[in-house]
Structure 1
């Protein structure tokens, strides 16, 4: 289980997150929902150790992730697909996946598994990442994170700007991660995707958690969820 307890963080003197607390359980998808600027991406960066915490802590099982250098966090089973993908553009699909596999060096079968989930990547295996389409790059970014065999997968708006068929492929892979017992923290703005995928929704507003909704609460009170989306 991933747990945030009283996490405050920001950029320099500019505080963005204020005492954020929530849990992401194994085999569940938690959607982090909020308007632009609410602190969603900042929350994921804080989990990954890319921002120093002003207060609070982040733990995964018995490990205090927030006490570790950022480059140690993936070694404990946290995969991250940032907004903008952040691929190594000059490297091939194969080489980008190999970078992801370095943290899980004993697992020789994981790349084959990724290619079975995203057959398009198999077709582009020796192609440089910066020559792929946007959707193919998103598949590669997600595949690279999945190469860790993560306990937790952080996804920052993975379907943004993609065509419908590629959105389905990304969502199917997300559901597959849940079925394999991975805790997924998903930043998403599309109401239909949230309702379809989420087991729980954390409502983020002005850097604070304003509530946690279950799947049944989303179904019975969709207006509350919708009110936390948009500009």
Structure 2
């Protein structure tokens, strides 16, 4: 589904990714693990073309996308749920969702699955996004991403900063998006138990490169201690 081969990525003169090699199998969840500041978010941003420049090969379904501008990568089927959610606070829930549809090659609208996944959003479409709780804003960010009808979903720490009673609900929704809709998901996550429950494979990132990778059952406590312990 997605392959990065010998990818370097830069912010100005600063190199953030070094010879990154990652493969995300079609229809699976790939957990991207590692300490804060090691390049996990940059990996997602590089896939979407949001760093200053990158080198190497990025392929989606066998097509080279490295030279594409960000909007074309989005229209090729990549959606992004960023860290911090980035909801537009003065837009209504409806307008925030519909905004995601601008990256779709088809008609814009609220995805059919949204009422089932997020009934609160559907009951409050005219409320401003800025008045929602952190968990509700995360639901809205996911609904907005689904509006572009993606085949690949990039999620950056989707359970961070969310009230504990909503975390398990968000986790279950992510698993459902993969299993029911067949979405391939790159999941940047610090919650190792959730990564083990949701993902089929993992990649461990340190100093801007992949240092461990494999099927999720091969993720050992020693790897976690070496690459994630503070």
Q: TM-score range by the shorter chain?
A: over 0.9
TM-score, structure 1 normalization: 0.93
Q: How does 1:76-91 map to 2 (within 5 A)?
A: 76-91=76-91
Which ranges in structure 2 are unaligned for 5 or more consecutive residues? none
> Once the 2 structures are TM-superposed, how far is the Cα of residue 224 of structure 1 from its aligned partner?
1.4
CA distance in 2, matches of 1:48, 1:169: 27
> Once the 2 structures are TM-superposed, how far is the Cα of residue 109 of structure 1 from its aligned partner?
6.8
Aligned partner of 1:114 in structure 2 is: 114
> Once the 2 structures are TM-superposed, how far is the Cα of residue 169 of structure 1 from its aligned partner?
2.1
CA distance in 1, matches of 2:55, 2:44: 15
Structure 1 residues 146 and 79: alpha-carbon distance in aligned structure 2, compared to 1, 3 A threshold: same
1:227 matches 2:229: no
Structure 1 residues 83 and 230: alpha-carbon distance in aligned structure 2, compared to 1, 3 A threshold: farther
1:214 matches 2:215: yes
> Once the 2 structures are TM-superposed, how far is the Cα of residue 108 of structure 1 from its aligned partner?
6.4
CA contact (8 A) 2:118 2:139 kept: yes
Q: How does 1:114-193 map to 2 (within 5 A)?
A: 114-179=114-179, 180-193=181-194
Secondary structure of 1:126 counterpart: coil
> Once the 2 structures are TM-superposed, how far is the Cα of residue 115 of structure 1 from its aligned partner?
2.2
Q: How many residues align?
A: 229
CA distance in 2, matches of 1:106, 1:8: 33
> Once the 2 structures are TM-superposed, how far is the Cα of residue 111 of structure 1 from its aligned partner?
2.9
CA contact (8 A) 1:118 1:169 kept: no
Aligned partner of 1:6 in structure 2 is: 6
> Once the 2 structures are TM-superposed, how far is the Cα of residue 18 of structure 1 from its aligned partner?
0.2
CA distance in 2, matches of 1:37, 1:108: 36
CA distance in 1, matches of 2:4, 2:80: 16
> Once the 2 structures are TM-superposed, how far is the Cα of residue 106 of structure 1 from its aligned partner?
3.8
1:204 matches 2:209: no
Ranges of 4+ aligned residues in structure 1 off by more than 6 Å: none
CA distance in 1, matches of 2:85, 2:205: 23
CA distance in 2, matches of 1:34, 1:15: 18
Secondary structure of 1:174 counterpart: helix
CA distance in 2, matches of 1:101, 1:166: 26
CA contact (8 A) 2:28 2:200 kept: yes
> Once the 2 structures are TM-superposed, how far is the Cα of residue 193 of structure 1 from its aligned partner?
1.1
Which ranges in structure 1 are unaligned for 5 or more consecutive residues? none
> Once the 2 structures are TM-superposed, how far is the Cα of residue 54 of structure 1 from its aligned partner?
3.7
CA distance in 2, matches of 1:152, 1:36: 23
